[in-house]
Structure 1
Amino acid sequence: MAGAALSPGLAVVRAAVEQPDGIAMTFVDYSTDRGGVTTCLTYRDLAERIAAVAAGLLEKTDPGTRAAILCGHDADYVITFLGCLRAGVIGVPLFAPQPFRTADRLLTVIDDCTPEIVLTSGKHADAVQELLASLRLAVLPKEVMLVDQIKPRSRPALPSPPGGDAVAYLQYTSGSTRTPAGVQVTQRNMVAATTQLAAWMPTNESSRLVSC
């Protein structure tokens, strides 16, 4: 893969130039229909939405600050994570509050990483606001951004994302045996991981990868 040496965010940008109408991602949602509701995004679509999220972030905060990702595990999650990478904002991948899942881990991690921004989607907005209201932080996140309501823009001006040893995102441990601990994953780590994955699993334009 020619794009393996690029960070994921920039790899999507290049793919949008080289094959704009190629399918970048297909998400099948079974939450409302047992047969599944399919959403497809081309590389152009994906790049535009990533750029819109990145531009929205940089209007509210600066590169190097932290943003908690409280999206459902759907297309918005992928777009939001890549948008953080494109903006140079340190994403903290978490999950949307759910009735059947305790909020203790979310509260603990948010308390530890003190994000300036919280990213979620419209369908989880009320649950996220309720979660944040239960926090006892001296400084609460200053903004909740609904990523599914950010409209793509015409070529937003974005700075080059950081590289090398700049922190790309914080990965917290599960916390199953102790308090969750955050691990700093650098841009260099991400490039190395994608390069190794590409070498281990050669693909071509007709390949399809499935994640469950």
Structure 2
Amino acid sequence: MTVDQETASVARATQQPATLPALLAGWAETLGDQRAFTFLGDPGYAGEPDGVSRSWSWRELDARVSTVATMLAGRMNPGERVAVLASQKPEYLAGFLGALRAGVIAVPLFTPRLPGHTGRLRAVLGDCRPALALTTRVDQHALTEFLGPYLGVVAVEDIPAAPSRDWPEADPHSVAYLRYQSGSARAPAAVRVTHTDLVANARASIEAHAVVDGRLATVDWQPLFHDLGLVLSIEGELS
């Protein structure tokens, strides 16, 4: 990182944007082609060869998020819910953050391939009533069969690239996503997480782990639909 980049990074952190998409846009502008994250394939969770890695830069992540957001903004109304039912792949990040950028409410979930959880998944979908489902190519056929003809299913990899545009920052006090509790003792119940809650939670996690910008990286093996997996892998990465 150059001195100019470090100065811009400090200034941006001081301004503290109130949403993750705004933070992502700032990092894409500042860090550009530097690596944002590396994903290691896992046949069980992602259907990819074991140990094969894929990396996205900050600019690439931002562009993919905007592509998803453009599609969602064209098909959904602000405040509607979109379910993220995808394997643990980089496309999960693009789908989740794209929903936040588009102003719709994300519902981070898992695919029907997760053994023993289809009953909970049906209960959550019946409660949140999403207008659309985001997934990956490897999951699209099975998910379409699981959901039936009543809910559209879109593979993130197949969304056409969209021209760049300026996105208005969401109301920081609006709902960013729904976090469903386990439902082990009763029907799953949703917690409404606002953009302000989300950023504050991520920054608290970074402070607790003493993460130093530009010097340290987080390593996480927890699934992205899990509370800690989501906070550390997505939220903590951007804050």
What's the TM-score once normalised by structure 1's chain length? 0.89
Q: Is the 8 A contact 1:64 1:90 kept in 2?
A: yes
Q: Which secondary structure does the structure 1 equivalent of 2:33 belong to?
A: coil
Match among 8, 17, 20 for residue 20 of structure 2: 8
Q: Alpha carbons of 1:109 and 1:21: their partners in 2 closer, same or farther (altered >3 Å)?
A: same
* Structure-2 separation of matches of 1:166 and 1:30: 35
Say if 1:195 and 1:163 are closer, same or farther in 2 by CA, change over 3 A.
farther
Shift of 1:122: 1.2
| 2:104 aligned to which of 89, 108, 127 | 89
Deviation digits for residues 89-128 of structure 1 (CA, Å, limit 9, x no counterpart): 1000101120634311111100001011111111111111
1:13/1:157 CA distance change after superposition, 3 Å: closer
What amino acid does structure 1 have at the position aligned with 2:211? Answer: P
* Coordinate RMSD, CA, aligned: 1.8
| Residue from 143, 161, 168 that aligns with 1:152 | 161
By how many angstroms is 1:157 displaced? Answer: 5.1
Relative contact order (alpha carbons < 8 A, sep ≥ 6): 1 or 2 greater?
Answer: 1
Contact map agreement 1:65 1:115 (CA 8 A) in 2:
yes
Task: State how far apart, in whole Å, the 1-side matches of 2:102 and 2:41 are.
Answer: 28
CA distance in 1, matches of 2:13, 2:52: 30
**Displacement of 1:161 after TM fit?**
3.3
1:118 aligned residue: 133
Q: Distance in 1 between matches of 2:32 and 2:206?
A: 21
Matches within 5 A, 1:29-178: 29-31=41-43, 32-34=48-50, 36-98=51-113, 100-133=115-148, 140-141=150-151, 143-156=152-165, 158=167, 160-178=168-186
Distance 2:215 2:204 in 1: 20
1:197 and 1:3 map into 2 onto residues whose CA distance is: 15
Aligned residues of 1:85 and 1:161 also touching (Cα < 8 A) = no
- Matched residue type, 2:207: A
Identical pairs, percent: 31
Decide whether aligned partners of structure 1 residues 157 and 204 sit closer, same or farther in structure 2, where only a CA change above 3 A counts: closer
- AA matched with 1:180: P
CA distance in 2, matches of 1:99, 1:189: 28
Q: Work out whether residues 52 and 156 of structure 1, in 8 Å CA contact, stay in contact via their aligned partners in 2.
A: no
Structure 1 residue 131: deviation in Å?
1.2
Matched residue type, 2:102: A
1:46 and 1:99, CA in 2 relative to 1: closer, same or farther beyond 3 A? closer
Structure 2 partner of 1:22: 34
Give 1:137's aligned residue: none
Which whole-Å CA distance do the structure 2 matches of 1:13 and 1:96 have between them? Answer: 29
Q: Which structure 2 residues correspond to residues 180-191 of structure 1 after superposition, within 5 A?
A: 180-191=188-199
**Structure 2 length-normalised TM:** 0.80
